[in-house]
């Protein structure tokens, strides 16, 4: 697969969109999403709940998660940043 280069005509509005629920339950849709993300370098997922658990559930569909200390190191380096 050849990645699509981003140029001035790259329009996010016409990129493929994927429903979070479909990504969680359909292997076919998951594969389409992964291919689109590889091709375009980004993807648009609609209806994704704003929770860590939902993000992890989608990530686990892609592969096994492993714990790292990168989040702890970032907090130590940058400090805690309150969300708006």
Tell me what percent of the residues of the chain surpass a pLDDT of 90: 31
pTM of the model: 0.68
- H/E stretch holding 44 reads strand 44-46
Is the pLDDT at 17 greater than 80, yes or no? Answer: yes
User: What is 19-32 written as a DSSP string?
Assistant: EHHHHHH-HHHHHH
- The owner of tokens 């708006």 is 84
Q: DSSP label at 10?
A: -
Is the pLDDT at 68 greater than 90, yes or no? Answer: no
- The owner of tokens 């998660």 is 65
10 vs 15: CA distance, rounded Å = 9
pLDDT for residue 79: 61
Domain ranges for the chain, please list them: 12-78
pLDDT digits (tens, 9 = 90+) for 19-43: 999 999 999 999 999 999 888 888 8
36 vs 28: CA distance, rounded Å = 12
């Amino acid at each position: 697969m050849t990645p699509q280069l981003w140029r001035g005509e790259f329009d996010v509005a016409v990129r493929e969109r994927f429903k979070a629920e479909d990504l969680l339950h359909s292997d076919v849709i998951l594969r389409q999403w992964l291919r689109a993300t590889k091709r375009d370098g980004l993807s648009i997922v609609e209806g994704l709940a704003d929770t860590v658990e939902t993000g992890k559930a989608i990530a686990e569909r892609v592969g096994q998660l492993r714990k790292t200390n990168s989040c702890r190191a970032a907090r130590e380096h940058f400090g805690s940043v309150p969300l708006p």
